[in-house]
Structure 1
Amino acid sequence: MIGVFYFLSQSMKGDLPMQSTPHQHALEAKHATLDRRIAEETNRPLPDTATIAELKKQKLRLKEEIISL
């Protein structure tokens, strides 16, 4: 999934996919971790909406940073 996200982020910028840097790889790994944490929290019997909102904000910030690379 991370590779697909990288390709899509490059496609949105109009660039051809380039070699992933260690920094970009780390950001993509954090993005995937946040995605899993959001899913876990959402699937709890009583999800914490404040936690979900904060995780989504963090995920969006990472996505924006990845796209800007």
Structure 2
Amino acid sequence: MDRVLADDLHALHSLVSGLRRDIHAVTAAFSTSWSSGQVEGHVTRVKLLKRMGFGRANLDLLRRRVLRSP
């Protein structure tokens, strides 16, 4: 992070500042065994179902498809 701030890459300075501001969360993300992979998979599946019904379905049909799909 110090090397990035020493460079002239101003676009990355805000990224490093944000990482330093929340360094405890960044450290925890790399040191814990927790993973959000399963949740992300469900979010991706729901987005796919939503896109498949775009322009043809209303919220009730989307709700039924999300709850019934495996």
TM-score range, shorter chain: 0.3 to 0.5
Higher relative contact order, chain-length normalized (CA < 8 Å, sep 6+): 1
Based on CA coordinates, which of the two structures has the bigger radius of gyration?
Answer: 2
Q: TM-score, normalised by structure 1?
A: 0.38
